[in-house]
Amino acid sequence: MIRPKIGIFDFETGEEIIREMNDEEFVQYKLDKSEHELVLKNSEKKTSAKSALLAKLGITEDEAKLLLG
């Protein structure tokens, strides 16, 4: 697997270094990516459940907001 690249910019010298992630950075990248995918999946489930409940109640999201005030 090709590893993502990291860009490092030194503002004092104006030097820019672009390199592949090292082992530690790559492990953290994969952990962060997995966590992000889990958050997205949970968000999609929550949105789907919310839509299903609103449809079951026969009300719109705005009407639900009015009820919950």
Domain residue limits at 64: 22-68
- Give the position of tokens 């639900």: 64
Tally of domains within the chain: 1
Q: Is the residue at 40 inside a domain?
A: yes
In this prediction, residue 40 carries a pLDDT of: 97
The rounded distance, in Å, linking the Cα atoms of 42 and 30 is 18
In this prediction, residue 33 carries a pLDDT of: 96
Tell me the β-bridge partners of 18: 7
- Give the position of tokens 């030194």: 10
Q: What is the mean pLDDT of each run of 10 residues along the chain (69 residues)?
A: 92 96 96 97 95 94 91
Q: Is the residue at 42 inside a domain?
A: yes
H/E stretch holding 54 reads helix 23-57
**Exposed/middle/buried for residue 25 (C-beta within 10 Å: 0-12, 13-18, 19+):** middle
In this prediction, residue 69 carries a pLDDT of: 82
